């Protein structure tokens, strides 16, 4: 057994770089898709518990855990349904739109550092790459709304486009704040520059940026309370009202993949990514818990994903003009002021700016 593993490792080392990268891409993509599947189940369970219901509890896998098979049942149901293409719709763009929504959501994972050793691309401009990709996700939504030749879908697309353009600015400024505190656009370097325990992570010195970033992230993914793009009570289901079967599932997949991405980014940018909060502590600091690893990133991502679900179960939906007001008149000024504060902190060398890399 041991020799076989060694043999496999040796084989892995001999593979050309391109092939290894391709294999990692496939593994990460499948991993994200599986996470999305169980996230949908977890969401329904959590919201169920918050509303004193049980949530899905019928489909089991191997007779274990009621509800565990629900995501797979949903997927097979959607796969076996017909994809109805409405008459009068733009057939080509109608089919292209779900793909355009999904591709940026998956491509962004290329630069996320999953563990100290594991990242598909160590791009220097990782942060910029992420911003560019998240701004491309809006195409899937507006094309879906326009191509469907439906007024409800179109209204949803318009709302979504305006909302995403507005919140992208606040998000970009929050990322500028992170950039100033880390001195690098490579996500691996951003994590490494946060080394030194919980209070060295960016969340403390960039707290307003963290709040703005997460709110903008919720708005970017069109999640409650900012889900006016699909506000059921007003425009039926918004931009994907005409989509059925697996085409609808692709939009669903993109939305949830984006949620996981925003959570992962919050963890990486503000909470030290794969760094351990208990490193150097007596007793537990010397076990695997003290080492930086994927375990800690996963745990942090899980916490932020829970926040997404919690928001959805708790907050009523924003009115559209109030979303715009919050984005332009509250979040952007907050980030601008804090960038000024960071300039002062950098000038007097406190917080992250007292670290050796800054000099």
Extract the tokens encoding 132: 């560019």
Nearer to other proteins, 79 or 132 (CB): 132
| Contacts (CB under 8 A) with other proteins, residues 65-124 | 93, 123-124
Q: Are 138 and 151 in contact (CB under 8 A)?
A: no
Based on the shown chain and the rule CB under 8 A, indicate whether residue 325 belongs to the binding site for other proteins: yes
CB of 18 to other proteins, least distance (A): 10
**Count of residues in contact with other proteins, rule CB under 8 A:** 27
Based on the shown chain and the rule CB under 8 A, indicate whether residue 212 belongs to the binding site for other proteins: no
The region of 66-74, 109-117, 273-281, 321-329 touching other proteins under the rule CB under 8 A is 321-329
Q: How many residues does the chain have?
A: 359
Q: Are 214 and 266 in contact (CB under 8 A)?
A: yes
Q: Are 229 and 159 in contact (CB under 8 A)?
A: yes
Based on the shown chain and the rule CB under 8 A, indicate whether residue 17 belongs to the binding site for other proteins: no
Nearer to other proteins, 82 or 321 (CB): 321
By CB under 8 A, name the one of 125, 299, 337, 350 that touches other proteins. Answer: 125
| Contacts (CB under 8 A) with other proteins, residues 158-197 | 158, 161-162, 164-165, 168, 185
By CB under 8 A, name the one of 37, 50, 136, 246 that touches other proteins. Answer: 136
Q: What is the DSSP letter of 195?
A: -
Extract the tokens encoding 261: 């991405």
Q: Report d(CA 30, CA 12) in Å as an integer.
A: 19
CB of 313 to other proteins, least distance (A): 23
Extract the tokens encoding 255: 């939305």
Q: Are 95 and 106 in contact (CB under 8 A)?
A: no
The region of 2-10, 71-79, 134-142, 299-307 touching other proteins under the rule CB under 8 A is 134-142
CA angle 177, 182, 183 (to 5 degrees): 100
Q: Report d(CA 70, CA 27) in Å as an integer.
A: 23
Based on the shown chain and the rule CB under 8 A, indicate whether residue 131 belongs to the binding site for other proteins: yes
Extract the tokens encoding 128: 């910029």
Cα–Cα separations (whole angstroms), residue 187 to 2, 118, 131, 135:
35, 12, 12, 18
Q: Are 353 and 181 in contact (CB under 8 A)?
A: yes
Extract the tokens encoding 27: 């593994």
Based on the shown chain and the rule CB under 8 A, indicate whether residue 306 belongs to the binding site for other proteins: no
Q: Report d(CA 266, CA 174) in Å as an integer.
A: 11
By CB under 8 A, name the one of 102, 142, 215, 257 that touches other proteins. Answer: 142
Based on the shown chain and the rule CB under 8 A, indicate whether residue 37 belongs to the binding site for other proteins: no
Based on the shown chain and the rule CB under 8 A, indicate whether residue 132 belongs to the binding site for other proteins: yes
CB of 160 to other proteins, least distance (A): 10
By CB under 8 A, name the one of 25, 33, 128, 246 that touches other proteins. Answer: 128
Q: Give me the residues that bind other proteins (CB under 8 A), please.
A: 93, 123-125, 128-129, 131-132, 135-136, 138-139, 142-143, 146, 154, 157-158, 161-162, 164-165, 168, 185, 321-322, 325
């Amino acid at each position: 057994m041991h020799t076989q593993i060694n043999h496999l490792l040796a084989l892995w080392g001999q593979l050309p770089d391109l092939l290894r990268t391709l294999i990692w891409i496939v593994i990460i993509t499948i991993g994200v898709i599986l996470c999305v599947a169980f996230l949908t189940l977890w969401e329904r369970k959590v919201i169920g518990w918050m509303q004193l219901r049980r949530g899905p509890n019928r489909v089991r896998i191997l007779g274990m855990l009621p509800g565990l098979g629900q995501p797979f049942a949903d997927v097979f149901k959607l796969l076996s349904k017909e994809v109805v293409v409405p008459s009068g719709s733009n057939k080509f763009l109608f089919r292209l739109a779900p793909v355009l929504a999904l591709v940026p959501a998956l491509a962004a994972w290329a630069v996320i550092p999953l563990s100290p050793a594991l990242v598909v691309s160590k791009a220097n401009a990782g942060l910029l790459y992420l911003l560019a990709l998240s701004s491309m996700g809006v195409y899937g939504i507006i094309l879906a709304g326009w191509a469907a030749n439906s007024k409800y879908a179109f209204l949803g697309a318009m709302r979504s486009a305006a909302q995403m353009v507005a919140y992208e600015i606040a998000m970009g400024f929050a990322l500028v704040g992170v950039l100033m505190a880390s001195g690098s656009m490579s996500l691996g370097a951003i994590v490494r520059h946060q080394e030194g325990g919980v209070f060295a992570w960016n969340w403390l010195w960039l707290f307003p940026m963290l709040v703005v970033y997460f709110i903008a992230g919720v708005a970017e993914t069109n999640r409650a309370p900012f889900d006016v793009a699909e506000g059921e009570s007003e425009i039926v289901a918004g931009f994907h009202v005409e989509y059925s079967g697996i085409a609808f599932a692709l939009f669903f997949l993109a939305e949830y993949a984006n949620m996981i991405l925003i959570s992962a980014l919050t963890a990486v940018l503000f909470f030290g990514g794969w760094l351990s909060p208990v490193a150097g502590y007596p007793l537990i600091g010397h076990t695997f818990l003290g080492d930086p690893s994927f375990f800690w990133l996963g745990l942090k991502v899980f916490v932020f994903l829970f926040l997404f679900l919690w928001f959805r179960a708790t907050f009523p939906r924003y009115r559209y003009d109030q979303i715009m007001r919050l984005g332009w008149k509250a979040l952007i000024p907050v980030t601008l002021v804090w960038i000024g504060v960071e300039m002062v902190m950098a000038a007097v060398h406190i917080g992250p700016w007292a670290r050796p890399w800054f000099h």
